[in-house]
Structure 1
Amino acid sequence: MGPRPAGREGMIVAVRPSGARPAVALLRAAHAGPTLAVTTMTAALALAGDLAPGRASLVTAAVLAGQLSIGWSNDLVDLDRDRCVRRSDKPLATGELSLGVTRLACGAAVATTVVLSLACGWGAGLLHLALVIAGWSYNLGLKSTPFSWAPYAVAFGGLPVFVILAGPGLGMPAAWVPLAAGMLGVGAHLVNALPDLADDEATGVRGLPHRLGARWTPRVAVAILVAASAVITAGTRSVSGAVSLTALTLVAALAVAALVGRGRAPFRAAVAIALVDVALLVASR
């Protein structure tokens, strides 16, 4: 993980608990936004893939448990770093959430992930566990390397494959499906890292976004997300030409906004392109 730099005053900063409710703090520590986004995407893919409601719920619950474990492990691994830069949005670092509660929640999420994943079938279950391991590998060290994008590519690319394998025996998806999903994951990684580039670099994290820098990261993210849009529209036959054309026009407009915008505009435009890509991917199922 690299050397741990000193905090702003040469030491780890202790922060008083703010008195927030533990359940709310625990949810925030699980990275609620990304967790909800991936879980919602899974549910949409499952329903679009004609999984029975019970099966779709099982698949979605397995992914939710895995995402919770990844989110909590991230904050556990980064605790000292988050304290160094005084991350007020990290309940574990501020003291709103205890270390013991977080470890217990993370352990329970891991156990639940194993049980629910294998309940989806051995093939699908083992694949999903491999995707969760990819997420953990990011937390445990890959985030600080030029290959920080790889866990996202593997996890997002494998997600639609997991959903299909857990379904009623429809076979493997076309190659463009995991390719486009993997590209979406890499774009999401770059976009997600943007707000924290300075804090990450201050604590020794040097992943791909940090090596690209604040100027090039949104541009590369937009390029990858636009390419994902093109792959999806070229590969699918279930989305009408009018819808595809409208989506690509919107993506092009957002790409221009991202490239010429200032401040938070490139970040917001890249997120919007990612949302369009997710909608196209779900519609293609």
Structure 2
Amino acid sequence: MRSVAARALALVRASHPEPSVVVTAVAVGLAVSTGRDGAGVVAVAVAVLSGQLSVGWLNDVLDADRDRLAGRIDKPAVTRTVSRRALAVATIVATLVCVPASFASGPAAGAVHVLAVASAWTYNLGLKSTPLSVLPYALSFGLLPTFVVLGLPGAPAPPWWLPAVGALLGAGAHFTNVLPDLAADAATGIRGLPHRLGSVGSRTAAAVLLLAASVVLAVTAPVVPLVAIGVPVVAAAVLAAGLARGRRDGSRAAFRAVLVVALLDLAFLLTAGHTMVA
């Protein structure tokens, strides 16, 4: 039993649990806010979580050798607490769950979410090492709220600013996510856009993109003025603290600040409720 529990914990660690949980929470919160019924909220939760798990596990399957060379002892595949084969099987199972769960929200919504997950897979499959590395993040996170809203009766289109905010958050998350690994990535041949911009350029890009997301929400979302003013101010303070602490080698403070900003923006969206849907 102890061995089974250890393998299960290793699978959880290999799934990139922090972003998986936060992205799922954001999607579920948006589903509740826009009026999805109980079954619809469950469908969103299962689809998004399984999609996130498939992306995280695929990443560790493909990067196992590279992570070993970089000395990433935080990776279960490197310490051999879980095998690459087990991660590959888990990726397949998560994908087999994700597809029907996505289409439970309707054909249009399902197609959009499958496209979002496929976009994230393209990052793992090679785009992470090109100047186009930010595109899968922007596309996948832009499509996520579109999936949630399209699952409502009548498949209404979301307001333009909703996928725009998602894309800005996703792009900003990309730049902060790779900050702790810039040196290790460079040593193993990864040359995505953040690596080409360098640490200072990536921090600047992340701050601009994430603050832009909060400002777009403040200007366009139908919320009370106090919320519209307060969220960007708090987001700026969180980002400043995270980026400052993230200067230390290996620190993930900047990425955790992004997750906090994403939750702040979710709280922002929850105050808008049904008014987001035409």
Superposed pair shares fold, TM > 0.5:
yes
State, as a whole percentage, how many aligned pairs show the same letter.
44
1:66-145 correspondence runs (5 A): 66-145=51-130
Distance 1:63 1:252 in 2: 28
**Counterpart residue type for residue 269 of structure 2:** L
Residue 168 of structure 1: SS of its match in structure 2? coil
State whether residues 179 and 202 of structure 2, in contact with CA within 8 Å, keep that contact through their aligned partners in structure 1. yes
Does residue 211 (structure 1) correspond to residue 193 (structure 2)? The answer is no
8 Å contact kept, 1:153–1:186: yes
Closer/same/farther in 2, CA of residues 28 and 258 from structure 1, 3 Å limit: closer
For 2:150, which of 148, 165, 172 is the aligned residue?
165
1:175-195 CA distance string (max 9 Å, x none) = 111111100110111111111
Is the 8 Å Cα contact of residues 188 and 274 (structure 1) preserved in structure 2? no
CA gap of 1:160–1:93, structure 2 versus 1, over 3 A, is same
Q: Does 1:277 align with 2:265?
A: yes
Question: Alpha-carbon deviation of 1:19?
Answer: 9.8
Q: Distance in 1 between matches of 2:240 and 2:7?
A: 43
Q: What residue number does 1:232 align with? A: 217
Quick check: 1:225–1:277 contact (8 Å CA) kept in 2? Answer: no
- Measured on the aligned residues, the alpha-carbon RMSD in Å equals 2.1
Q: CA deviation at 1:255?
A: 5.2
**Structure 1 residues 268 and 68: CA distance shift in structure 2, 3 A:** closer
Where in structure 2 are the equivalents of 1:222-261 lying within 5 Å? Answer: 222-237=207-222, 239-254=223-238, 257=241
Measure the CA separation in 1 of the matches of 2:10 and 2:59. Answer: 15
CA distance in 1: counterparts of 2:215 and 2:165, whole angstroms: 9
- Render the CA deviation track for 1:147-203: whole Å, top value 9, x for unaligned: 111011111101111001112236111111111110011011111111111111111
Structure 1 gap segments, 5+ residues each: 1-17
Matches within 5 A, 1:146-157: 146-157=131-142
Q: 1:283 to 1:197 in 2, by over 3 A?
A: farther
| Structure with the bigger percentage of helix | 2
1:39–1:64 Cα contact (<8 Å) kept: yes
Aligned to 1:200: 185
Q: Deviations over 1:78-98 (max 9, x none)?
A: 111011112111101221101
Measure, in 1, the Cα distance between the counterparts of 2:97 and 2:260. 32
Question: Are the counterparts in 2 of residues 218 and 270 from structure 1 also a CA contact under 8 Å?
Answer: no
Take 2:7 and 2:27, find their aligned partners in 1: how far apart are those partners?
Answer: 27
Bigger Rg, which one: 1
Q: Which amino acid aligns with 1:284?
A: A
Structure 1 residues 22 and 233, CA gap change in structure 2 (3 angstroms): same
The answer as to whether partners of 1:254 and 1:273 remain within 8 angstroms in 2 is yes
Q: Return the match for 2:9 from 24, 36, 49.
A: 24
Hey, what does 1:8 align to over in structure 2?
none
Query: Residue by residue, what CA displacement relative to the aligned partner does 1:5-59 show, whole Å, maximum 9, x if unpaired?
Result: xxxxxxxxxxxxx997000000111111111111111111111111111110111
Unaligned runs of 5+ in 2: 274-278
- Does residue 60 (structure 1) correspond to residue 45 (structure 2)? The answer is yes
The whole-number CA distance in structure 1 between the counterparts of 2:242 and 2:46 is 34
